[in-house]
Structure 1
Amino acid sequence: MPKSVSESGKTVDPSRNEGAYWAIMLLANFRRIGTKWQVKNIPSWPSGAPSRREFLRQKLTSIVAIYIILDVLSSGPPPDANVVGIRNQVLLLRIPELTSDELIFRVIAVTVYWINTYLFNLFMIEVASFVSVLTGITTPDQCRPLYGPIKEAWSIRQFWGTSWHQMFRRGIQGISDLANDAFFIPRGTLLSRYFRLTVSFAISGLIHFSADMSMRIPLAEAGSMAFFLAQPLGIMIEDAVQHVYKKQGIKFLRGYEHILGYVWLIAFQLWITPTWFYPPIRHMNPEKDGLLPFSLVSAIFS
């Protein structure tokens, strides 16, 4: 490729510039979209990538809508500290004393928390995608949807591996593979499979644990590691159950297996999720630790 001359009169090597561009893009392209390293289960555009103009219109509409929804969901008063106390985080050993009020609150709180988390992650990616396409850094086809289909979340494994975002999967998977090989665990074995799975969730736990520390949550109360390390345990349980009933030749009517899976996933997350998000609720300062920089709801109704 011939070299060209820039406006300053200096010689420029286009191949070097192109290489630098793709190196930077690869660092920013967490899911490695469009490369041979593309992460599994990245959703595609249902009817093909939209035009640049349509993409920007969709993203701008989505950004405004998500901001309003997040604002509404986070504008309510915080719950009483006793309701989200340390004792109420755990559930398994307290089932006999569980009241209907606590159960209703737990269901509502966990549901709202996951909706908030889902939308906040989506909001950040929508803003980044809008800016990158607007400035010409990327094309709409490079900005695939963040989440997979919710209907595919019929198990804990499916939820994390297909329906949830895969932004950090490639990096975390690389570290877990390195740890596996460092311990000389043979690839393809059951031990290797669950070791890498556990290491992956442990890394996720450490990432979120740093967020706990930034919110000044006491070390003894931070629940991120407990939450994320419970996920591989749940996956091992569901794998074992599936193995047993398939080995026994048990067959479910079409769709019933997935219905049972949805129930299992919901029950599992209702059990463990408060361990993760009750501590931030107890220690957050609504005025300083708000989810959004500016509340439209508060401005309108104050």
Structure 2
Amino acid sequence: MIASLLPPLPIIYLIFQKSLIALLVSFSPQGSILRPMIFPFLVLYNYYLLPKYVSYIPRTPWIAFVCEEITSALLDYLEKLLLSQWSFETYGPSVAAGTAKKADKETIKRLVPDEQTDRGRDIWERLKFGAWVATSSRYIGSPYQARNVPPYSKLNPFFVPTRLEFLLMWSIKFIVCYLIIDVMTQASQPEMNPIIYAESYVPFFSRLAEVTIEESITRIFTSILYWFGSYAIVQMYFTGFALISVSTGLDRPELWRPICGPLSEAYTIRGFWSLFWHQTMRKRFTKPARYITFHVFNLPRGHSVDSEFQRLLARYTEVFFVFLISGLLHHVMDVASGMAWTESGATTFFVMMATGVMMEDAMQWVFYDLLMGGDERGRSWAKGLGFLWVILVFSYATPFWAYPMLRRNTGEINNDILPWSVVAYLKAKK
């Protein structure tokens, strides 16, 4: 029935989902039966939509981006309406009900794009608040801001550029990222991908005796370039939307703080994901993971923890489910792009990341705390060793996810992420 009411047009459905979240936050109270009643239909329609993306979106990378936004909106619904119970009455999640100070409400009101705050216009104010919640992922500047959102300046965390400075800086960043992606695309040899990234090259330790030095170097450099390219893509998308939002006056520069943190923090796997990589998904992953850990499995938390084992069990159960949810999201993106469910290695990769974090914590505890007294963690040599560790772990795990995607790209235009190539244009002019 829902399929007949909503045509399989991904962009329209994305707008519908965001609008639905905004309306329910604005007008339904926390605990409303309407919120959980609607959620199963959204899950079913997302499933129904999976094979339809390829019919409406011409480029595979664009499909992945739109699918990510739509599936993330489903996680948004789960986090904001069912788990955190955002509502206009509390001007925040229900966990703050009865404890949120008026200053907190005023802080959030200042973040809503429209400056009008006339209390008499209740419906309009509800809609403004609902729209802010529905479109926010990091809640910048509010009491509910995601952890580890990087500032504009590490030396001056309170610095905010003017609109003109912002547009200039972000325009340069957008152009640089666009050119990086363009050069990487044009310099590749996609016709060789099925050979270089064959399925037989994905396993490593199980075939260690037959792994050549050349294959190992290819694995390392492919993994590094894959994440370098992913970083450029994330930056390009983010700065593109930031430029549109700020230049049109929909948002202010303070709401578009940098998407990624400093690379210098990526000397551990935990630091890579928590401090360097973007935090737009943080609450979407951590809230469901915490619910599963502390409500489904009923593991103790806080002062109710009786032993170190219980504390570690709860911590790493949450870590596991954070990465598992991330893996499933990226798995769905691969399937929407035309890949078979069994072909994608996204879930495998992210579960490996969870395992890597656990191994990393254990090794750091043994090496730094037990053997070296805990004083060497932040030293330059320790960070250098950490970067090497991160490169090796990512070089082992990334092919499980990246190789299936890379070997499907044999040079067809529908695999190009950019609509127009500067490099190809300049080549043609020569």
- What is aligned with 2:241? 128
Shift of 1:128: 0.9
Q: How far 1:256 sits from its partner (Å)?
A: 2.0
- Residue number in structure 2 paired with 1:218: 340
Q: Cα deviations across residues 209-264 of structure 1 (Å, max 9, x unaligned)?
A: 01211232233321001000001100100111122234424254832221211111
* Aligned pair partner of 1:94 in 200, 204, 207: 207
Q: CA deviation at 1:12?
A: 9.7
Question: Residue 418 of structure 2 aligns to which amino acid in structure 1?
Answer: L
Q: How does 1:14-33 map to 2 (within 5 A)?
A: 14-33=121-140
- Match status 1:72 vs 2:180: no
Asked whether 1:116 is paired with 2:223, we answer no
How far is the alpha carbon of 1:194 from its aligned partner?
0.8
Of 280, 285, 289, the residue aligned with 2:415 is: 289
The one of 181, 195, 208 aligned to 1:82 = 195
| % identity of equivalent residues | 29
Map of 2:405 onto structure 1 = 280
Q: 1:232 aligns with which of 344, 349, 354?
A: 354
Q: Does 1:267 align with 2:392?
A: yes
Q: Report the Cα offset of residue 14 of structure 1.
A: 3.3
Match of 2:318 in 1: 196
Q: Do 2:320 and 2:351's aligned partners in 1 also have CA atoms closer than 8 Å?
A: yes
- The residue aligned with 1:165 is 278
Check conservation: 1:89, 1:275, Cα contact below 8 A: yes
Equivalent position SS for 1:208: helix
SS at match of 1:37: coil
In the superposition, the TM-score normalised over structure 2's length comes to 0.65
Q: Secondary structure at the match of 1:288?
A: helix
Structure 1: segments with no counterpart, 5+ residues: 1-10
Distance 1:190 1:60, change over 3 A: same
1:215 and 1:283 in contact (8 A); partners too: no
Letter of the 2:282 counterpart = R
Residue in 2 that maps onto 1:3: none
Moved more, 280-289 or 140-149: 280-289
TM-score by length of 1: 0.91
> Which structure has the highest helix share of the two?
2
Amino acid at match of 1:65: V
1:155 aligns with 2:251: no
Q: Which residue of the partner structure matches residue 296 of structure 2?
A: 182
Contact 2:141 2:255 in 1 (8 A): yes
Q: C-alpha separation between the residues in 2 aligned to 1:247 and 1:41? A: 25
Q: Measure the CA separation in 1 of the matches of 2:179 and 2:366.
A: 47
Q: Tell me the secondary structure at the aligned position of residue 189 of structure 2.
A: coil
Residues 19, 298 of structure 1: alpha-carbon distance in 2 compared, 3 angstrom cutoff: same
Task: Pick the aligned partner of 1:51 from 162, 171, 182.
Answer: 162
Displacement of 1:34: 0.9
How many residue pairs were aligned?
Answer: 292
Residue 193 of structure 2 contacts residue 408 of structure 2 at CA under 8 Å; is this kept in 1?
no
Distance 2:364 2:221 in 1: 30
Secondary structure of the residue aligned to 1:218 is coil
Residue 241 of structure 1 aligns to which amino acid in structure 2? M
Amino acid at match of 1:112: L
Structure 1 Cα separation of the partners of residues 290 and 370 of structure 2: 33
Give the residue type in structure 1 aligned to 2:409: M
Alignment-derived partner of residue 7 in structure 1: none
Letter in 2 for 1:69: I
Bigger shift: residues 72-81 or 128-137:
72-81
Equivalent position SS for 1:81:
helix
Q: Distance in 1 between matches of 2:246 and 2:133?
A: 16
Q: Match for residue 144 of structure 2? A: 37
Q: What is the CA RMSD across the aligned residues, in angstroms?
A: 1.9
Give the partner amino acid of 2:180.
I
Are the counterparts in 1 of residues 194 and 408 from structure 2 also a CA contact under 8 Å? no
Matched residues in 2 for 1:241 and 1:112: separation?
Answer: 27
- Structure 1 counterpart of 2:426, which letter? I
Residue aligning to 1:244: 366
Amino acid in the other structure paired with 1:236: M
